[in-house]
Amino acid sequence: MNKSNALNVAYALIEGAQNRDACFNIGVNQVSNISKEVFNTLPPLLSDCVNMFDDQIEKDVVLIGALGVLSGCLPNIEGVYFGKNYTPHLYCFITAMAGSGKGNLDWAKLLGSRIHEAQLNQHKTDIEQYEYAIQKYDTLNKHEKLNESKPAKPSQLMHFIPGNSSSAAIIQALTNNNDRGIIFETEADTVSNIMSQEWGDFSDVLRKAFHHETVSLYRKTEDAYIEMKRPMLSMILSGTPKQVSRMIADSENGLFSRFLFYGFEHEGDFKNPFEMPSQINYKSFFEDKGNLVYELYKTLIIRQTPVQFQLTKRQGLIFTQYLNTLLNDSRTELSSEFEASIKRLGIIAFRIAMILSALRYISKSSIPHVLTCNDNDFNNALSIISTGSVHAADVFVHLLKGGERKTDNISLLYNKLPDKFTRANANEIGEQLSIPPSTLTRYLKNREKYDKISHGNYRKL
């Protein structure tokens, strides 16, 4: 697909997003950026972070990255979605050409750095205690050792798991940390190079962890069995478009539909590298915000029972209507293969709403047992996934389908059909275009293109 045709798809999707979001009173910009209305109503911590930047794309990148990191910093919060408990954990992918400004994503990582440092320090303390205990144990005689257990070496703790880890190493790292962790890499090749190796491919771990499905591993050399009953993993990646396709070969393996994508083309001028929008030290600023996140993390980690997140009944109805509209809109411009992405954007929206709601309790001493979403956070979550749907569709069209626009058949069918036709006529033309009968039925149900006059008789609009 050439750039002109690809832009037609993108503009159609953006126009659809504008119409849909206007109908639901959810803001969306004239281009595929996150709505400015979202930035006006974010929780204070996120608002402070994005306001460190003037450029719209930089704000978007930092917000998506922050949501990804924070999704892994909120233990013991969960909500019921289709009868199953989900935690806030997200997979996010920022994609753009080299040198286009993805580097600001690094600031978002600092929001979780205090938790990571605390876990490393805890492990260091545990090792020191272990070494003292093992020295003491070694001084015992054979009879005394019969009444004492040999001290066990503490497991390595880490909040951020290196992306160049093997599948076995990632499972072990999550297991050591109560099945929780974050993979954060600004070069997606760090992950894709490992996943291209048979011993390193953890695509199945990622797919299962998104839905908290059990992951198990048997190590033959150590005769050890490891099982994560409920893995909780966040993943934040950035990379060039080619790096996306190297990591996710096609849209059918399920990994593609689990990501919240944000992509951009940077066409701005070369910026003065010695001037920043804010005179505040960026590293210190984001580390200070990370300290606030750490305090909320400590409040949540000691809870005996999880915080139960929920939407209001009205929000639940709007959520369902909105996702149905989003699903139908995607069918107009893309193929049924994209439906999995739309359906999982529902889970992503639910998780974003959960994150935004939890952040309202930063700097507070406690958080209620039941956390009900307010309308601002609910609308913002839907607006963010509306933008995400446009970016995911762009990745789908450009990178994963080899440039082929799957919905050309929609236009071809419409152009080949006479003004008035029967289902038999449509079946004949559909067969010529290799359109399956079930897909043809769905096309004919589009009331913006076809009117059903009577049983088996139609006319074009």
Closest among 289, 239, 303 to 75, alpha carbons compared: 303
Strands 450-454 and 420-422: unpaired
CB-count exposure of residue 81 (10 Å: 0-12, 13-18, 19+): middle
The CA R_g of the chain, rounded to the nearest whole Å, is 25
211 or 433: which leads in pLDDT: 211
Alpha-carbon torsion, ordered 311, 64, 118, 307, to 10 deg: 0
Residue type, 63: L
Tokens of 272: 């003065």
Residue type, 313: K
390 or 29: which leads in pLDDT: 390
Low-confidence winner among 116-125, 176-185, 221-230 (lowest mean pLDDT): 221-230
**Residues 272-286: what's their mean pLDDT?**
82
For residue range 362-412, list pLDDT tens digits in order.
988 889 999 999 999 999 999 999 999 988 888 887 765 544 444 456 777
Cβ(375)–Cβ(315) under 8 Å? Answer: yes
Which DSSP letter does residue 279 get?
Answer: S
Alpha carbons 233 and 221: distance in angstroms, whole number: 27
Beta bridge partners of 13: none
**Residues 102-108: what's their mean pLDDT?**
88
DSSP codes of every residue in 194-250? HHTSTTT--HHHHHHHHTT--EEEEETTTTEEEEESS-EEEEEEEE-HHHHHHH---
**Residues 16-45: what's their mean pLDDT?**
77
H helix runs in 308-374, sequence order: 313-333, 339-359
Helix (H, G, I), strand (E, B) or coil at 32: coil
pLDDT over 70 percentage in the chain = 85
**Residues 136-162: what's their mean pLDDT?**
92
> What pLDDT does 26 receive?
67
**Residues 421-439: what's their mean pLDDT?**
85
Residue type, 393: A
**Residues 425-439: what's their mean pLDDT?**
83
199 or 367: which leads in pLDDT: 367
In which region does residue 403 sit, left (phi positive, over 0), alpha (psi from -120 to 50) or beta (all else)? left
Alpha carbons 191 and 182: distance in angstroms, whole number: 13
Alpha carbons 109 and 428: distance in angstroms, whole number: 56
> What pLDDT does 1 receive?
39
pLDDT at position 211 over 70: yes
Q: At 242, is the pLDDT very low, low, confident or very high (cuts 50, 70, 90)?
A: confident
> What pLDDT does 404 receive?
41
**Residues 353-363: what's their mean pLDDT?**
96
pLDDT at position 72 over 50: yes
pLDDT at position 134 over 60: yes
Low-confidence winner among 104-118, 158-172, 435-449 (lowest mean pLDDT): 435-449
Alpha carbons 245 and 288: distance in angstroms, whole number: 36
Average pLDDT over the chain reads 86
Which DSSP letter does residue 156 get?
Answer: P
Residue indicated by tokens 């059918």: 252
Tokens of 118: 């605390």
Q: At 99, is the pLDDT very low, low, confident or very high (cuts 50, 70, 90)?
A: low
Hey, CA dihedral for 420, 426, 428, 430, is it positive or negative?
positive
Residue type, 99: G
Which DSSP letter does residue 337 get?
Answer: G
pLDDT at position 55 over 90: no
Q: How many CB atoms lie within 10 A of CB 361?
A: 19
> What pLDDT does 382 receive?
95
Alpha carbons 65 and 50: distance in angstroms, whole number: 11
**Residues 135-158: what's their mean pLDDT?**
91
Hey, CA dihedral for 437, 441, 442, 446, is it positive or negative?
positive
Q: At 157, is the pLDDT very low, low, confident or very high (cuts 50, 70, 90)?
A: very high
Alpha carbons 50 and 43: distance in angstroms, whole number: 11
Alpha carbons 410 and 360: distance in angstroms, whole number: 46
